[in-house]
Chain A
Amino acid sequence: MSTTSDRQLSAPAPVLDGPTPRPPRADVGRSRPARRSWRLSLRRDWQLYALAVLPVAFLLVFRYVPMLGNVIAFRQFRPGGSIFGERWVGLRYVEMFIHDPTFWKVFSNTVILGGLTLLVCFPLPIVLALLLNEVRKKAFKRTIQSISYLPHFLSLVIVAGMVMQLLSLQGTVNQIIEGLGGEAVPFLQRAEWFRTIYVGSEVWQTVGWGTILYLAALTTVDASLYEAARIDGANRWQQTWHVTIPGIRPTMITLLILNIGTFLNVGFEKVLLLYNPLTYSTADVISTYLYRVGLVSNNLSYAAAIGLFQACIGLVMVLSANFISRRVVGASLW
């Protein structure tokens, strides 16, 4: 019961004396208030801290332990031994992948695949959103939206299955090719087709969902700006270019930053589902390579070194994209 009475007394305290603390014995010492208020907040908010225990424990075990587990990139690891490895081996595994030609091959594959995806999948939702924005029939607009969001909710396994069915020798694409008098192409066995297939399925799955934030941003563009532009003699195209696009620019930049930051994580699972040894030369990316090296061939330390390298590049890219956009356009994620 004492906690209840404590709360009755102290709960409104942060509101009242937040900015100007007025403890009755403020003159006692410099270190006292800090310690005392920690004790105070523990007593007042212990239930909040108690609620946080499970989630924090979860994050520590399932997020932070693996982060620390990356030390096996610098340590010898014995299956069944400590998850942090047995003994230091220094940069042996880092040197190993730096001198590994396959690593650089998959690295450039990753950059190309990620770059293509960014190039195609970033602008298309903007275009689609602009087109949708011009639709005046509400019902029509809503139908198109519903249809285009749907692929987003499918498992990658289903998407891969659909891709395989469409591109199989009996599939629709080859039916069309044969209908036009061509030879059926085993697309999924051809390395030169992999990038197209990957980016195409990525567009199919993400373009509709990607419009949501742009459509939301479009509704916030001030209507009087259009009016002003029209009075100045701007036609529809000029209105779009000079009013609409600047209106959604912050959204574009935010999403661009997010995309650049995750650029190296090119859809690992999708590649894993769609590639096969015949297409490794274009399809194999860093994460699939480290998956095979680490978990199929059991070279865990080596794979951890590659994974750590990839994660660090990813972190640097998010931070620098954010920094650049803050400097150049004044918009940033945090």
Chain B
Amino acid sequence: MDDAPTLDQLPVGAEGTVLAVRCERAIARRLMEMGVLPGTRITVLRIAPLGDPILLRLRSYSLSIRRREAAGIVLSDVREPVGAQALAEQAPS
């Protein structure tokens, strides 16, 4: 599980299912109470203009956390954004 993907690695539009929340206790508890729990499906909605924080969508609401906290959220079943590959191919090289 140590090389399992974490939330901070996901591009915009990708989604994954939470496997574990490994932040320090106070932050982990706050995140879990806001619904970031094992089994919760999370989508990365946006990344802030300066690269951090990131904006997430889960349980019908939007939550923003910093990459540092996102790095503690371990995921499974990651799905890359639909059409991302097609977009990448279109992009001028």
Same complex origin of A and B: no
Query: B residues engaging A (CB < 8 A)?
Result: none
Q: List A residues at the B interface (Cβ < 8 Å).
A: none
